[in-house]
Amino acid sequence: MITAASFPTPELALRSSDPAEQTRVRGFAQHQAAAAEALRRRLVAEWPGCRSRLQRRDLLAQAHADLVQWRYELALQAPGRPGTGIPLDPQRFRTTIRDGGPNYDRIGYLGRLRDGAHWDPATRTFQSGRPTPASEIMLRYGQLAQARFDNAGWLPNPDVLQNVVRIPSTRRQILGNRLVRGDAARAIADELTARVAARGRDTSRMETGGDLLYVVSADPDDADTIFDTALYLLADADIGDSAERLRLLQHVRYLLFQAPQTKKGSDAVTRVFLVGVGAFLLGRAPVMQSDADLRCMVLDQNHAIEMPADVPLMVAAGPVRRRGGAV
């Protein structure tokens, strides 16, 4: 049985220092647990009837699509977004990145995530206020991204760091997301402002000042390839032992967070999908790392595969056997 314990609340969702508001936000884990348990039961019922890898892949793809719809329906019921961000638009939860353009996620200092911050038009940033878990985690990952730039050596463009996704047990590599700073980030801020304005939204307080640093989602063709590869890896995941299955799930987690499918909601969908599929394949429910998305988006693949929340499962599964086809 999958419970809310598998879904620690991401720090990025905690945008208030008010304990009552934080409690309300943490309640979303109940929705995720129910959806993940429904997915686990669906796989128990339908997986044995799949006679080929393709049929298993199609089952997983449909399950993922159903979760996208689930997240959209929850967005329709949501009271709105707290804080100073752009108002919630439920349609964004089913708009694909191919149709809506790449996701631009700013990391580093974001004053709008601080509780009680005030708008400074001169710097186009939110200033002062009290730190929140959201503001602190984004500041930390901005520092980690900057450290990657500092240690990257020569880059074709010193303001762009391209992540390359390696497919386990193969030599295949696919271009993933990008970390962008400097003049390239300034161009993104201008494009993002124009995009939001074109949707009829108020851009007068969009935080586009300060030291800009963005995570830019992968090209849609590359993202589709990464996503499809992840599903095919899962389609064969029931062949190995517990350690091999867990290792494969860790790689698939990185792939899925590198290949978001929609403008909004991909994080929750990916978490539910991974816990539901993981519980089915491992026989026990995994616990999602609270910052799993940021780890996979910002860190390189070598440092994003294993996460602290995996340790109980890794201890129970034992070491991965090194053999042909092992992950």
β-pairing, 104-106 vs 213-216, is antiparallel
Q: Are 240 and 196 in contact (CB under 8 A)?
A: no
pTM flag (> 0.95): no
DSSP strands (E only) in 26-172: 104-106, 118-120, 125-127, 160-166
pLDDT of residue 322: 54
Q: Where in the chain is the domain with CATH 1.10.3290?
A: 4-80+227-317
User: Which CATH entry fits the domain spanning 4-80+227-317: 1.10.260, 1.10.3290, 3.30.1460, 3.30.1120?
Assistant: 1.10.3290
- Return d(Cα 229, Cα 167) in angstroms, integer: 8
Q: Are 97 and 217 in contact (CB under 8 A)?
A: yes
- 238 Cβ neighbours under 8 A, 6+ residues apart: 47, 245, 281
- Token pair for 48: 């044995």
- Token pair for 214: 């963005």
pLDDT one digit per residue (tens) for the chain, 327 residues: 999 999 999 999 999 888 999 999 999 999 999 999 999 999 999 999 999 999 999 999 999 999 999 999 999 987 655 445 556 788 999 999 999 999 999 999 999 999 999 999 999 999 999 999 999 999 999 999 999 999 998 899 999 999 999 998 889 999 999 999 999 999 999 999 998 898 888 888 899 899 999 999 999 999 999 999 999 999 998 877 889 999 999 999 999 999 999 999 999 999 999 999 999 999 999 999 999 999 999 999 999 999 999 998 888 877 766 544 444
- Return d(Cα 79, Cα 27) in angstroms, integer: 14
Q: Are 143 and 183 in contact (CB under 8 A)?
A: no
Render 35-59 in DSSP notation, one character per residue.
HHHHHHHHHHHHGGG--SHHHHHHH
- Return d(Cα 117, Cα 109) in angstroms, integer: 12
pLDDT of residue 315: 86
